[in-house]
Structure 1
């Protein structure tokens, strides 16, 4: 059955790019509502933004949602990944400004908050998006692909010149709480040269190595404390991919492969999928199918401890 949070849960921090103070609150929502962002600082008539692929205004640095009135909220990928990975199907997410707080740069704080609050089962079955035929998009040297599978598999390859990152590849089955155990603590990362360039252009003003991002410079990890996992970068790219795929509006049953793919490429993939009605179908999940979805089998005790 579908789930929402039992009670509201709030998070305070700064926006990664704006550096402004930000507060986010996850509220319970009725069955079949889906995930909706609500800007509480905007006109009530235009304040809601559905968390959907067709609301994405593509940005190279984050996932940004914007409604027809021009009201937007950015950096939604980490909270979307946490909701999908914890099995939350319906929620209203109130934000007091244009950017979601970055917190520690991963989904772990959101996961802790969601699971400590607990979930409420609802009287409506879970529906899923089942991939029937391969769909692929390419943009430059980046690509993303979805092919049929009976669960959600995430596969990702990254390649960077920086020796501390290099080439990393990982494949994970997202069922049985895998997201919470394997991906939720992986933090956003960047190269020092990119940070310097962004900050010179008024971006990444809330970035703080060691607190909410991992910064690399050649063969060095500049962030105090180093990495949480040796392959933390590719894990974070998979976290981002789950958050971006969650904008399909339903859990996906399929095998996703990303090669150097960013937010825009994954959004292009969803647009390509929905442009081909023969490539997918919506299914109502029985207990066996629901057990294979991200978020099924998540337990509080499985959340990794992080510094």
Structure 2
């Protein structure tokens, strides 16, 4: 005789599945933006910046953004996208879990082990469909890579730069990009990018939400606040110190209405550790070096704010 699960057992299974999905979506994240690509780059949110001397590999596509694919001028939607297809996936998954809670899956009428296996199969089917949909929309949004690498004084030099940090990239030469620097990024702008990198990292490590809000867009500040709350719920804190930019260069800059955008590749070192709040014991140590693509946005005359962080892949 087939043993059937009680409604309470099905509820526990459903919540366990949801928790596993959440862990899978956030695993590997420590420093702000670590392990994921998030934020908005205006109308170029779903177009990958070109490789630069600092980041010669590809750039991971945006996983979380308030900018919906195909929206005019990259205007934000009412709710942020989430991983695995955003609201589309969340709605389907939520429907299945709700069905499990009230005694039936997506198709109903299945009980016991058969219902449990059916739920797993349905979740797997939805994940596959959502990923196919995500890839379809990403392909539609993909544009030819036009931008190249810039240093403070124009195209990156053929040999090692005279200084570290932004504009001091070393390695092979880079031709002038087909997409020009439409904003006219100055040495003062590069200095602002470098300062903001350190300020955001240290504020995140100190759980200083007010400082994060001063240096990031409301969207990015919201993502960082979510991560800090998740750390608090786990009883840990992400400690960051000794942030130092080693190399950086400009991938592209452009204007959309009153807003300037600048996307910058940055390689930096830091001390990154996840610490138990109660005991102070280090539970995880992050990599001592990171290479990421940061996009900054400003309204005319205003300060540069972090509007997106994307992860890089090896060349």
TM-score interval (norm. to shorter): under 0.3
Larger radius of gyration: 2
**What TM-score do the two structures reach when normalised by structure 1?**
0.24
**What TM-score do the two structures reach when normalised by structure 2?**
0.24
- Which structure has the highest strand share of the two? 1
